[in-house]
Chain A
Amino acid sequence: MSHDPEVGGPGTADVAAGNGATMLASEPVAGPVISLRGVSKHYGGVYAVRGIDLDLYAGEVHALLGENGAGKSTLVKVLGGIHRPTEGSIVLDGEVVDFHSPAQSQAAGISVVHQEPALFPDLDIAENIYQGRYPRRGPRAISWRDVYANASKHLQELGVELDVRAKIDSLSVAECQIVEIAKALSLNARVLVLDEPTAALSAGEVEDFFRIVNALRARGVAILFVSHRLEEIQSLADRVTVLRDAALAVTAEAATLSREELIRHMVGRRLDDLFPKGEARIGEPVLTVRNLTRAGVFNDVSLEVRAGEILGLCGLVGAGRTEIARVLFGIDHADSGTVAVRGETVRIDSPTTAMRHGIAYLPEDRHGQGLVLDWNVASNTTLAVLRSLTTHGLIRRSREKRLAEGYVKDLAVKCQTVAQKVLNLSGGNQQKIVLAKWLATKPAVLILDEPTRGVDIGTKAEVHRLISGLAQRGIAILMISSELPEIIGMSDRVLVLHEGRVSGEFVRVELDQETLMAAATGQVTHDR
């Protein structure tokens, strides 16, 4: 790294305002590419961010951390020209600039890659990269040869092999993000803002992604990397800025802050135990799956979950984790194999039959599959158990309200009333509502698919505590997760999938990230 800001412990670094100036003074090479100076954005009396100072240098990866609502997105939008700061200024190459639109920010060399790529699904990769600014040959004609040649050149620079003629809707989320980054390259971006790029990626994809980010850093791009995942920050970032409650908590060298210190800065309190799977009495097998196969998706999968047990299911995206869950819940169908609940072989051909056998499934896509966003808390909570709330076929509203209020209390959902729309709740509270919906069905088997995706770190521990409590109540839990610390912290046993097959099974004492990764990437096949 070319710069050396004075940072001691978190205590001294708390004073971040003077940091930039100090760095400029002691830094003969170059000043920051872009700086935020005392940037605030408020709506009415509410500050989304307040008095933020931030410097981004060429060739650094600067991590931006913070809980949901801490102001990360707002800052990203200020840089991207979507929001104008109410106070403070943006300084680009030593000159104060004022972005009135995303186009102006882009023209100034700033590219923002949003968490959910904003691409045209029906167009191919090259068309997306050059959308709206196709290379031309002549006044009216687009030079398609240049479009495709340049697009593949940018993808090659990133070291990825993707067909530039592939349609976006045939790509994975990871690949879409690569396309976004290639687009940024084609714009000669000097500042690249990555807004939670890894949230939807599997462990293997994250590695590839880091390789790309490192390559960009080597090219001298200033990268602002927004993330929830602490371990990523420690392995990737040069410096880190933590926001808390709309204000700057700390800016420091990433290496100087431990994981625990980062968390403390984020939440302003100590979270001693992130993943508190408590002791639970492991009982009889509840779900027994034998040789389950769905052609071309997963093969010969056998597993067993006992009462009170949490079985972790991990693997790269595409390894067949969610696909197994979908078959167990009756959304897709198996080609062969058997499923037994409490020793009795059952035929599951629809979610309804799965529910009848006591299986519940918390899906990975909360907005798409878990909630009716336009509905209130009560209606969402009761959707799976409506019939039990009826007398003579009519829903008893009072019973519905009571049921929902009970779960809101049990799960400590933060909402005003159960008549509040779930759309207006935070990700963590929305996830609790989906969980409540399934708890209302009194399941014997609970399948959790990425239970804490997009959930802020404070609520995350709470969700883990809830899951642990459910296991203690004797529910058999099958938990799919891409986050290895979550798998390791929560699971009694872990099954690792690689390309649709079980590549390893580990008990709690054997668990560590390296072993799991090795199995997930197919490097080792653990004999069962």
Chain B
Amino acid sequence: MVRRLSVFGRWESFLLVLVVVTFLLGSASSSAFATSANLSAAAASYTEVALIALPMTLIIIMGDIDLSVGSVVALASTALGRMTMEGFPIGLSVVLVVLLGAIAGAVNAVLVVVLRLPSLVVTLGTLTLYAGLARVTLSAGGVAQFPSFVSNFGSGYLPGTLVPWALLVVVVAVIPFAVVLHSSHLGRQVFSIGGNAEAARYSGVRTERIRFVLFVISGCVAALAGLMLTARLNTASPDNGTTLVLTVLAAVLLGGVSVFGGKGTLAGVVLAIVLLAAVQNSLSLRDVNSNTQQIAIGGLLIFSVLATDGFSRLRAWLQDRAETGRRTGASAGMPGTREPVTTETAG
């Protein structure tokens, strides 16, 4: 937890370097890249990913996964469209949609936490289930007549700037997530669940409650992202957000969160999102078509896995060397405090 690594040895620093390089290359290859309008648009297009990535980071650190978020986005979008069609006041609709997200998350939580089913399978199931529900909710395709409040939020900026409203939401949301994860006892408990769920339970960590709540939060946040996406596109559609989950997972894993749980930082995830947005945007400016962009992003993800693996090997090697040095020093005076080689056998 308290990782004593030099700044240079951290994955986040490496990501930061990549971000800077991408920005330099982007500016060099297109004069349009480093303009406020372009950066603003690029940021806006990643706000939903960023928002959903926040609870996803915690869930993956906990050793679980929530694949259903993209479908919750679609469900939220169509629910908003349907309620608008039926003449619900917009404020009530927003509250109901977030509540719907909470219910969707709670269904996942009941299956995963209470019935102890694997989250990968459960949320793969609800991914399809919620996507189906979204199509049932709004079978007639898109809805595009929203109150001006909605479209203003979706395409407007903070007064006097080019900062999209949605980005403000993300920035405001990052802070509590980061504080809770990295500074509060709850965050420490989240890490403990991913590090060794059994030991956490035996230490009085309410593992089930924490996991349940996080799945519910994930549903709520996905619904909120669904509202933002609907506003930004000014369209309610069951196709909204269906591919989001892959980008979110790419961002979280590229951000250095261990797919096995127990490790990761929100800073890494935020940097990864910035990196993904910058790469995709600069490729778009170079008129690289979206298929090729997908290849680039896929490649980046594979690269990150290779690089993190290489990183941890390098780190293990360095640590090993350091310890050998220590042991050489210690072995003279201290009769064996530990086995020089530990046995690892599969049980």
Contacts and interface: CB of A to CB of B under 8 A. Distances in A.
Given A245-B336, A268-B335, A419-B2, A114 B202 contact: no
B139 interface: no
B201 A379 contact: no
A395 B202 contact: no
Interface in A359-399: 361, 363, 368-376, 378-379, 383-384, 386-387, 389-390, 393-395, 397
A3 interface: no
A384 B204 contact: yes
Interface string B296-314: 0000000000000000000
A368 B339 contact: no
B185 A386 contact: yes
A68 B338 contact: yes
A67 B340 contact: no
A390 B185 contact: yes
Given A46-B331, A355-B204, A383-B203, A376 B338 contact: no
Q: Which bucket holds chain B's interface residue count?
A: 35 or more
Contacts of A288: none
A279 B340 CA distance: 38
Contacts of A331: 201-202
Contacts of B347: 116-119, 121
A17 interface: no
A74 interface: yes
A350 to B, nearest CB: 7
B336 A394 contact: no
Interface string A330-369: 0100000000000000000011101100000101000011
Contacts of A77: 341, 343
Interface string A71-88: 101100100000100000
A246 B202 contact: no
Contacts of B206: 350, 352
Interface stretch (A19-27, A132-140, A309-317, A423-431): A423-431
Contacts of A373: 195-196
Interface in A36-92: 43-48, 67-71, 73-74, 77, 83
Nearest to A355: B204
A48 B341 contact: yes
Contacts of B343: 73, 77, 114-116, 195
Contact of B1 (A121, A370, A379): A379
Nearest to B343: A73
A267 B335 CA distance: 9
Interface stretch (B20-28, B85-93, B320-328): B320-328
Interface string A162-202: 00000000000000000000000000000000010000000
Interface in B173-217: 179, 183-186, 188-189, 191-192, 195-196, 198-206
A73 B339 contact: yes
Contacts, number: 144
Given A46-B328, A372-B196, A386-B189, A351 B203 contact: yes
Contacts of B345: 114-118
Contacts of B226: none
B262 interface: yes
A361 B202 contact: yes
Contact of B346 (A43, A74, A118, A355): A118
A61 B342 CA distance: 25
B255 to A, nearest CB: 19
Contacts of A414: 334, 337
B328 A44 contact: yes
Contacts of A69: 335-340
Contacts of A432: none
A352 B204 contact: yes
Nearest to B347: A116
Nearest to A245: B335
Contacts of B324: 43-44, 46
B195 to A, nearest CB: 4
A416 interface: yes
A429 B1 contact: no
Nearest to B344: A116
Given A67-B336, A244-B335, A375-B1, A383 B205 contact: yes
Contacts of A437: 203
Contacts of B334: 414
A413 B334 CA distance: 14
Contacts of A115: 343, 345
Interface string A396-423: 0100000000000000001010010000
Given A43-B340, A46-B327, A393 B184 contact: yes
B327 A74 contact: no
B202 A351 contact: yes
B4 A419 contact: yes
A372 B192 CA distance: 7
A403 B346 CA distance: 36
B266 to A, nearest CB: 15
30 contacts: A48-B341, A69-B340, A74-B339, A77-B341, A77-B343, A114-B343, A117-B347, A118-B346, A118-B347, A121-B347, A244-B335, A245-B336, A351-B201, A368-B196, A368-B199, A369-B199, A369-B202, A372-B196, A372-B199, A373-B195, A378-B2, A379-B1, A383-B203, A384-B203, A386-B185, A386-B189, A393-B185, A394-B184, A395-B188, A425-B338
Interface of A: 43-48, 67-71, 73-74, 77, 83, 114-119, 121, 195, 244-246, 267-268, 329, 331, 350-352, 354-355, 361, 363, 368-376, 378-379, 383-384, 386-387, 389-390, 393-395, 397, 414, 416, 419, 424-426, 429, 437
A-B CB proximity, top 6 nearest: A69-B336, A386-B185, A372-B195, A426-B338, A48-B340, A379-B1
Given A352-B206, A368-B199, A374-B195, 9 more contacts: A46-B340, A67-B336, A83-B341, A351-B201, A354-B204, A361-B202, A368-B196, A375-B192, A395-B184
